[in-house]
Structure 1
Amino acid sequence: MDKVKFLLATLFTFLLISPLSSQAQDSTNYQDWEKYDLTYRTYRITLLPGLSTNGIDAVDYVAKYSFNLLGGYHGALHEGFELGTLINANKYYASGVQIAGIGNYSGDNTLGVQIAGIGNYSGNSMQGVQVSGIGNWASSDIQGVQLGGVFNLSGGNIEGLQSAGVFNVARNDIQGLQFSGILNLSGDSIEGMQYAGAFNIAKNDIQGLLVSGVGNISGGNIQGLLVSGFANIARQDMQGIITSGGINYAKTFQGISLSSVNISQDFQGIQLGLANIVDEGQGIQAGLINYGNEFEGIPVGLISYYRDGRQNLDFWTTETGFTNIGIKLGTEQVYNMLSVGFNPLLNRDVWQVGWSIGKLREYENHDLYSDFSYFKINEGSWTKDLNSILKYRLLFGKEVNEDFKFYSGPTLNMLISRLQGSDDYAPYRLFDIKAKGRQYVFWIGATLGIELF
């Protein structure tokens, strides 16, 4: 115990007399601290603010090496090293390496490395690395890396990397990478990559890649790739690829949109989803439901409805004896059709449901239809076993008036079935092949029908 008391007394005496002895040390001033009117010291040792080798006027000194046994508050750290068990604080700037058990503080610029158990703060720009258990905060621009257990904050632009367990915030532009467990927020534009467990939000333009577990939101233009678990929202123009598990929205979109629901006011490209909705569109829409006020391109869907497109009702019969009714929707050139039919020629209850996709070519005296169809054939109730007809039709049409057209032409047919007794669907056979429990029957047939409206 006496030895401990002796050591503490010696340290206390050293701290008291060192301000006087330090006057004999190197006091050369450098331009970096001249504007702050600081005095240079190579070393400083501090027990706590006000009790140091620079005395109570520690804020008037700059040092290269700084050791804070509990915590220190000084003028600046210049191209050196600072170690504190609790806190390292510099009124003006810190250049070098700061390591503290609780936190590092720099009132103005920071250049170098800050490592703290709880938090790091730079009152102005930060160039280098900030690493903390909870959070890092730079009031202005960052060039470098912020690694926070909970959060990272930048009051200006970022060039580099932000990685946090919960959220990252950049008040202005980002050039680089942001990784967070929940949220990445940019107050201006992004050039680079954002990855978040929940949300990425950018106030203005995005150039790069955004990946999130829930949603990506941009208030400006986007060039790049957006990937989210639920939603992507681009309030202005989007060029690139956008994919989500729930909904994609872009005011103006050029590229590929993949989601359960894709929505755009002005669209050029490809939409793939359960529902695709546009005001004006050009390209490909593939989904269960496709909708638009004006659309030019290829619709692939169970229902493809366009206000400027076709809405027709078709009736037709074939050599197999099936009589069908179908709703034909799509553009004037490319159409999808849902149909249902029954076969009155067979002595049992046989009916079918079908889907077709085709193209119309208009000539001076006639029209030419070419389409592919799939028909599910059912015996009585819905037949679970494989029992289908694939059909290609080449049809010549003639318009009687604007509400009535008749058509006819040859068809190429293939029956694929696992059912016994499906042989009588085809009137004859060009080929009849059985393999692995399936029957494949090929024949050439004909279609005769009318188109209304």
Structure 2
Amino acid sequence: MRLFSSILLFCCFIASLPGQNLARKVSFSYNRIPLKRVLDDVSADFDVYFVYSPEYIPITQPVSVSVSNVALSEALDKLFDPLPIAYKPIGGQIVLRPVEKNPPPRITNKTIPKEIDQQSPLYADPRMEEIIAERKKRWAGSSPTISGRPTPQQLNQSATSKKTEDLQATRFEPIIIESTASIEEEVAAPVFVSSTADTLSVVEKKKPVSRLAQISLLPFLGTNFTESARMTNRVSVNLLWGRNGGVEGLEIGGLMNSIRNDVHGIQIAGLGNTVGDDVFGTQASGLFNVARDSLIGIQGSGLFNILGQGYAVQGAGLFNVANHDFAGIQAAGLFNVAGRDSRAVQLAGLFNVSGGKSRLQVSPLFNVAKDVENGQVSAIINVARRVNGVQIGLINVADTVKGVTIGLLNLVRQGYNRVEISASESFYGNLAFKIGVKPFYNIFYLGARISESNNSSNNGENIKELTWGLGYGIGTAFNLGKRTLSNLELISIKINEREGWTKPLHQLHQFRWLFDWRLGRRMSIYMGPTANLLVSSRKDPELGTGGSELVPKTLYDKVDANKRSQGWIGFNAGIRL
């Protein structure tokens, strides 16, 4: 049932991938620009996702290309034509592979017609050993007696005459030299020609061979024996642990499955799956899955999943790691890590890290990403360079935000960061710091006033006493015109009246509606009404419970058993830097 669910999920995932529209019109121009930058620009400008391995694709090589209003396919042909790179659209991405555009001539075993004579074969005739033995016997029986020392010219003429006679007397199986032009055709394995004193031999590199099925107990202890590392099987069954060249179908292992090359299909193992190159399909295991190059499909394991780059869904009990480019979904019990250029949705029990773009990150501790397209949600901290969406957390840190950051502390370098100096009817001097973005910012407030005490000093002068307040608030700002804007703010202020710290409840809540006029690039003035509500259980000797000198004429005054609530309309004005 789990296998069926995984396959169904994979099918739905692949079906939902947006295909690359190679017919769309594009325009771009580059002159000796590194290939990596060109691919990044094309990906960002035309919503094209490239999958490749930096170890095999020359991403640092400068390229020069210029196209104007041509189809994407034509533009890519022109871009990759001078490079040893072939591309192929698969699902929602374009896969890049290294390829030899002008391969050397290929040597095959095809014979040419017998009427065509060939005097210098590259392959040894099967009868060579018999022919050599016969020539040695004939030469031994008819060797002339040398009465004198021959000259070097005589020796050279004799050797040339014998070689010509031997080649004319023997007919060899000739060969044809072919060349391949298609970049998608697999280049044949190289052929090495060697020569010894008696014979010519040809050694051909062993190529991967496809088999219908195999069964093994341990590596090289199965139906493919010592050839298993170069065999690609449609069905592979490893009772304990198996090592094979590739899979084009299904592989099941009791403990481990190890593949040297590629997997096109499904891998299922009790402990783990490892693949040396690419995976197009599904890996499922009890402990771990590893795809060293790229993966397009699904990885599911009890502990962890690791891949080089991919367009995939990863699910693990502990963690998921994508070392290079990644697009898709990562879900783990502990953490997720995605590499350089990533467009991932990451869900983790502890934290998420993305070296590139992140569509969405959700975790209880922290999220870190280079760019965020939709959002970051964390209980503690979110960190990103550019945010085109929302950040929700206790602390949010970003360089640029096109959206909103919601938290106790929002640090945005290129955001709405202001310092205010103002006055009001309650506090004659106010200092406020506002940080965040216009849709949502934090306010840190400090206010103070000096009053004369009813008590006198020894020389008869009234004593000056300090009343001060410390507060926090939130606000939003929206533009009214080119040089004007309006602020709506909520602030709660702890009042410490005529003492260092007032222990009883003595809290002032304010709603401010302010209007801002910008005077210069870095300065503006503002003013506006405020709605005030003071809630206090402090007992004043002269004013009674909840009494305060901060309160002017009230519009609302209610006394309960242990506290007093008083409301009034005030005014606030100041300078904003």
**Could you say which TM-score interval applies, normalised by the shorter chain?**
0.5 to 0.7
Paired residue for 1:206, among 327, 337, 341? 327
Shift of 1:189: 0.9
Which string of whole-angstrom CA distances, capped at 9 and with x for unpartnered residues, describes residues 123-163 of structure 1? 22153342333x22123214223224255445431412322
Q: Which amino acid aligns with 1:200?
A: V
For residues 21-420 of structure 1, the aligned pairs below 5 Å read: 89-91=222-224, 108-112=231-235, 114-117=237-240, 119-125=241-247, 127-133=249-255, 135-139=256-260, 140-149=262-271, 152-153=274-275, 155-166=277-288, 168-181=290-303, 183-211=304-332, 213-227=334-348, 229-235=350-356, 237-243=357-363, 245-250=365-370, 252-259=371-378, 260-294=380-414, 306=415, 309-318=416-425, 320-321=426-427, 323-329=429-435, 336-345=442-451, 347=453, 350-356=467-473, 357-359=475-477, 361-362=479-480, 368-378=486-496, 380-383=499-502, 386-396=505-515, 407-420=526-539
Q: 2:41 corresponds to which residue?
A: none
Which string of whole-angstrom CA distances, capped at 9 and with x for unpartnered residues, describes residues 361-398 of structure 1? 55699765432222122353445654422211234566
After superposition, the Cα gap between the structure-2 partners of 1:350 and 1:222, relative to the gap in structure 1 and judged at 3 Å, is same
Shift of 1:192: 1.9
Whole-Å Cα distance in 2 between the matches of residues 351 and 338 of structure 1? 14
Q: 1:11 corresponds to which residue?
A: none
Q: 1:65 corresponds to which residue?
A: none
Normalization by structure 2: what TM-score? 0.51
Shift of 1:280: 3.2
Select the structure that is richer in helix. Answer: 2
After superposition, the Cα gap between the structure-2 partners of 1:199 and 1:367, relative to the gap in structure 1 and judged at 3 Å, is closer
Shift of 1:76: 11
Which string of whole-angstrom CA distances, capped at 9 and with x for unpartnered residues, describes residues 211-263 of structure 1? 2513412333314334362341233x33234546234112x321011344434
The answer as to whether partners of 2:278 and 2:294 remain within 8 angstroms in 1 is yes
The answer as to whether partners of 2:346 and 2:360 remain within 8 angstroms in 1 is yes
The answer as to whether partners of 1:231 and 1:244 remain within 8 angstroms in 2 is no
The answer as to whether partners of 1:120 and 1:132 remain within 8 angstroms in 2 is no
Q: Which amino acid aligns with 1:141?
A: V
Q: 1:443 corresponds to which residue?
A: 567
After superposition, the Cα gap between the structure-2 partners of 1:168 and 1:329, relative to the gap in structure 1 and judged at 3 Å, is closer
After superposition, the Cα gap between the structure-2 partners of 1:384 and 1:156, relative to the gap in structure 1 and judged at 3 Å, is farther
Which string of whole-angstrom CA distances, capped at 9 and with x for unpartnered residues, describes residues 94-127 of structure 1? 9xxxxxxxxxx6862344463534x123322153
Instruction: Give the greater-gyration-radius structure (CA).
Output: 2
Whole-Å Cα distance in 2 between the matches of residues 192 and 344 of structure 1? 64
Whole-Å Cα distance in 2 between the matches of residues 253 and 199 of structure 1? 19
Whole-Å Cα distance in 1 between the matches of residues 351 and 327 of structure 2? 19
Shift of 1:165: 2.2
The answer as to whether partners of 2:294 and 2:307 remain within 8 angstroms in 1 is yes
Counting aligned pairs with the same residue, the percent is 14
The answer as to whether partners of 2:320 and 2:330 remain within 8 angstroms in 1 is no
Whole-Å Cα distance in 2 between the matches of residues 157 and 149 of structure 1? 18
3-state SS of 2:294 partner: coil
Q: 2:100 corresponds to which residue?
A: none
After superposition, the Cα gap between the structure-2 partners of 1:375 and 1:120, relative to the gap in structure 1 and judged at 3 Å, is same
3-state SS of 1:203 partner: coil
After superposition, the Cα gap between the structure-2 partners of 1:130 and 1:404, relative to the gap in structure 1 and judged at 3 Å, is closer
Select the structure that is richer in strand. Answer: 1
The alignment's C-alpha RMSD in Å is: 4.1
